[in-house]
Structure formats: C-alpha cells, structure tokens
Amino acid sequence: MPRTRKAVILLSGGLDSATALYWARSRGYDARGLLFDYGQRHDRELRSAMALCQRLHIDFELVRFSLPWRGSSLLDPSRPLPHPRSRAEIGARIPSTYVPGRNAIFLAFGASYAEAEGCGARILAPLLKLTKSQIITMGLRLGVPYELTWSCYQGGRQPCGACDSCLLRAQGFAAAGTADPALPKGRR
C-alpha cells in the first residue's frame, strides 16, 4: 500500500495560501492547515482559513502568540492602515503593514509542526515565482473557492477596496480576466 505524503500548509485565508492548499491537494498531499493568531487587527482572515479547511475536511492547528513590540499597523490599531492613492505607490517603500520577522516565525512554526507530523524536511513554495494573476489562474483551474478567501487589511463584512492588499487582489483578478467572487456583485 503506497504511503501518503503529508504536508503542512501555512494558511492565512488569503488567495495565495488558499491556492497553495489546493495545489498540495491536487498533488496528492494529505494536507493540514497551520493558522496563526498573532494579535492582528481582526480575525476575518482566520475565519476564511478555517472555512477553507472545513470545505476540504482537513485538520488544522491554530497557533496563538503575540509580538509585544508591535511595529506594524496590522498589530497596532492606533496606527492608521495605508491607503495608497495609486497602484504605483504600492511597493515604493515598506508599508506600515509590514510585520518584522513574521514570515520567519511562521516558517519556524511550520517546520516544527511538519516534523512532528512526519512530513519530512522539504519546504515547498510552489507560488514563489508566479504573478498574482498567474496564481489566480492556477487557483481557478484547481477549483479554489476564492469567495471564501479574504485579503483586506480591514475586518468587516466586505473588503475596503482601498488598502494595498485589496488593490493588489483587484489587479490580479483583472489581469486574470475574471471577477473576484469575494466582492459583492455591484463591485465586481
């Protein structure tokens, strides 16, 4: 009987991590999600990550930790979130939403969980060299339910449409030639 390959997916609830999850499943991995509550402004993305896991009937672990030094508008509600005036402003400088060392911390937790689950020592980054529109196109082929994902830095019921993340997401869907199913019909 062949052994099933296991994989831990760092799952934020956004479209990139959702696509990575569906990519792993399409490659035959027995996937499980690793979600993080690190004191971010809202739990909207976490709820999306949990919904994705429930949709695929996969287990997930939620790791809670805090970064007491703040240093980011995602962690400090007294700091305003950036609202660029144009897409050209995105990437011109490090945004206030940058959380120092966050991804390194996530990877350390992911490596620990993967080792504990017997996943082996490989770290895969299948989307690393893809543009946002290429990620979306891949996800559509894989059947990713993008209506369940959340990318906006604001919490709430609908994406703000003005933050960096919303603008990059909109640009990706436009370049992929399809409407974002997470938006209300009037904003697609």
> What residue spans define the domains of the chain?
6-187
CATH 3.40.50.150 correct for 6-187: no
Sites in the chain below the pLDDT cut of 50: 1
In the prediction, which pLDDT does 85 show? 62
pLDDT tens for each residue of 7-51: 999 999 999 999 999 999 999 999 999 999 999 999 999 999 999
DSSP-derived secondary structure letter, 5: P
* Residue showing tokens 């995602």: 74
In the prediction, which pLDDT does 127 show? 97
In the prediction, which pLDDT does 29 show? 95
Burial class from Cβ neighbours inside 10 Å (0-12, 13-18, 19+) for residue 165 reads buried
62 - beta bridge partners?
Answer: 35
In the prediction, which pLDDT does 19 show? 98
CA–CA distance, 146 with 149 (Å, rounded to integer)? 5
In the prediction, which pLDDT does 121 show? 67
In the prediction, which pLDDT does 184 show? 84
